[in-house]
Amino acid sequence: MSQENVETIRAALDAMNRRDIDRYLAHCTADVELRPPTDPIEGPYIGPDGVRRYFLDVEDAAPDFHLHADRIEAVGDSRVIGFLRMTATFRTSGLPADQQVTTVYDLVEGKISHIRVFVDRQEALQAVGLAE
């Protein structure tokens, strides 16, 4: 199941980069929860409506937002960690961004149920029990 979960994450990332919200949601549970780095301030995005709002927020802030997968690995049978690079140009400032992010995905029966995005790789590794 772990390799299938990795492929699910790859397919979801492709859908996100193509802005295909319906295809992205097809890889998620009905109660999916997305916690971006801004979660402590803005709160999580919950369910399909939350994910749709996240896509709209991303599109509004940075229309050329793109996630590049450097490495995606299974962590056990129901968790995947993605080492990603986010590129974007912010609409309001025109400033480009190129940042490493680490994303932890929890899956239930092959569907994404929980997404946590970290800008601190060590924090992500700690979250999945891989930190030294």
User: Is the pLDDT assigned to residue 50 strictly greater than 90?
Assistant: yes
User: Is the pLDDT assigned to residue 39 strictly greater than 90?
Assistant: no
User: Is the pLDDT assigned to residue 1 strictly greater than 70?
Assistant: no
Which pLDDT does position 110 carry in this prediction? 95
**Domains by residue range for the chain, with CATH:** 2-127 (3.10.450.50)
Which pLDDT does position 20 carry in this prediction? 95
Percent of the chain with pLDDT over 70: 98
Q: Is residue 17 within 8 Å of residue 82, measured between CB atoms?
A: no
Residue 74 phi, psi (nearest 5): -75, 140
Measuring CA to CA, which residue among 92, 101, 125, 132 is closest to residue 35? 101
User: Is the pLDDT assigned to residue 132 strictly greater than 90?
Assistant: no
